[in-house]
Structure 1
Amino acid sequence: MSSPGVHFGDSAAARRLAREVNEEAAGIVRDPPGRFGFFASLPLPDVDAALAELAHALDALGADGVVLETNSHGVYLCDPRPEPLFAALDRRAVTVFLHPTSPVCWGQSALGRPHPMIEFVFDTARTVTDLLMAGVLERPPDLRVIVPHCGGALPVLADRVDGFLRLFQPDRTHAPDAVTQLRRLCYDTAGPAFPRQLPALLNLVGPDRLLYGSDYCWTPAHGVDAHLASVQAAEVPVPGATWQSLTTANARRALSRPAR
């Protein structure tokens, strides 16, 4: 379970809402036990409050990770301001689930169309590309990132991003190339995964990187049912596996906490 954005312009209200959302999620996890987990919401762009809520969510509530929006009121993840948060996430080996939102310019760039339609998938590509260019994704294995919606636009942009990374940062010869770094991330199947999105993703990453995602409750129940049916009807990329067994095993591995 996750609730991406809790900051609507009032930092004090965002702190209270993050705590309320996380406490509620922890209560659902406890009753019944063993059925659910949750990603904690953080009141970004207030970094000090986000650090405090991170500690509470992990230490007091037992959160499985955190959910971060692709940008928080125009502050992207590689802005220098959230760096203390990423240092803490890295140090504590926290799983980070990204969730897209619209860029601040969406009123112009969406051209009057529904902004979740393409603005979300491009903002996912924008923030992951920024993480690549800033070197944040060179931190594995401790920093683990889950990218939603089959990677958004990343599968078709990966080679282009890799080319620009080599062109504009040629001194980073010690670092893995962009494609290698993208292959280390996990990707969920939320959204219209078939017939084109998930096959495109599998040209970039191995099947061990796939996690099931439904987008419920933003996608209504009948849409989730249709999405699940399309996934189950598709060929499984691992012989002898089902989509359920594959994504379950991947999720257990992605959400496990390394010994410290």
Structure 2
Amino acid sequence: MTHNALVAPAGTRTPRLGRPVGATQTVTEVGGVVLLLPDGEAVSSRGPSAWARATALPLGRALGRAGRGEGLVAHVVRYRGRGWNGPDAQLAADASWAVAEAVRRYGDVPVCLAGRGMGARAALHAAGHAAVTAVLAVAPWLPEDDRAAEPEPVRQLVGRRVLLVHGTNDARTDPELSYRYAERAKKSNRDTCRFEVHADGHALRQYQDEVHALAADFVLSSLFGRPQSRPLADAMAAPPPLGLRMPLAAGFGCSRR
């Protein structure tokens, strides 16, 4: 599509789940669902980004491999458009739709919302649905607006397990803002922790294997009760700031692969 091509307004499009990702295509009995929410743009009327969807696939495939035995199914949510668009919070609305659609398709199974960037913000916003058991927010976009009546909401996280992961060298989304958010969330929901990936950027490419291993550890323990790793258990149990600035060690999860 060229830069000058006409783009249908988001109101004329509908969100979709699409086909299950990777190994989860062959799951016959679904035990849980992870919904992957791609990154987006602050303001846009353009359609969903194929590039953003592609960047969500590696995590989906990693989680699908790790959880296939428990019947984990992964879907990448296809938004109506790529823009958050201020009060419309369009990506969050599409995330809420996706949870309802997962329940319609699969019934009473636990759901994890896993997002990156603006998709992470959408995941956190949509966590209030009764089916959501866990939220994974990778490099979350959590802007602070002094003009806003209230800060980013956290009440919807109560009763969920919440993990934030952020690179300390992220130049796109501020890791200090995700720390402040996690600090507020921890006050109302003790099952909240945050890991820092030292010297890595927004895409977390340098430690991608470790991030995927941590994500699998979190998702499978949250949805299926698998034993969690000691670092994850320690981060959940520790008070701030320790449990919200837990370093992700190089080689994390290697012994499990």
TM range (shorter): 0.3 to 0.5
Report which structure shows greater RCO (CA 8 Å, sep ≥6).
2
Normalising by structure 2, we get a TM-score of 0.38
Pair member with larger Rg: 1
More strand, by proportion = 2
Normalising to structure 1: TM-score of the pair? 0.38
**Higher share in helix:** 1
